[in-house]
Amino acid sequence: MPGRLAQLGERCFGIDSASVEDMAGETVDTLVRWLARIRRDLTLGDIGIGDEKFEAMAGDVIRNDGDGMYYYSVVPLDREGVMAILGACLVQN
């Protein structure tokens, strides 16, 4: 994934750093600043979603085939893992 972010930064923002990881990080920072500058929503809280909706959202994200295997995850995620990710999306760092 860092390679794709670095490519986005190079092509869209003219970012040119020493390493792919540096470029990816700078791309994320630049994109967040740009979105804030054009007054776009950055967090779930910005669009009125609070943690009271996380249980339902996690259920929508996780699909269980009945054998404990979850679909569409790059890494294995359970409901708590999805809820932790959603929690991180509530506030801007």
pLDDT digits (tens, 9 = 90+) for 8-53: 999 999 999 889 999 999 999 999 999 989 989 888 888 899 999 9
Domain count of the fold of the chain: 2
Domain that holds residue 61: 45-88
Shared domain for 52 and 69, answered yes or no, is yes
Contact 17, 26 (CB under 8 A): yes
| pTM of the complete model | 0.57
Shared domain for 49 and 78, answered yes or no, is yes
pLDDT of residue 90: 83
Shared domain for 22 and 56, answered yes or no, is no
* Domain contains 93: no
Count CA within 13 A, CB hemisphere, residue 79: 10
Shared domain for 54 and 81, answered yes or no, is yes
CA–CA separation, 65 and 73 (whole Å): 13
* Domain contains 81: yes
Token digits for 20? 């792919």
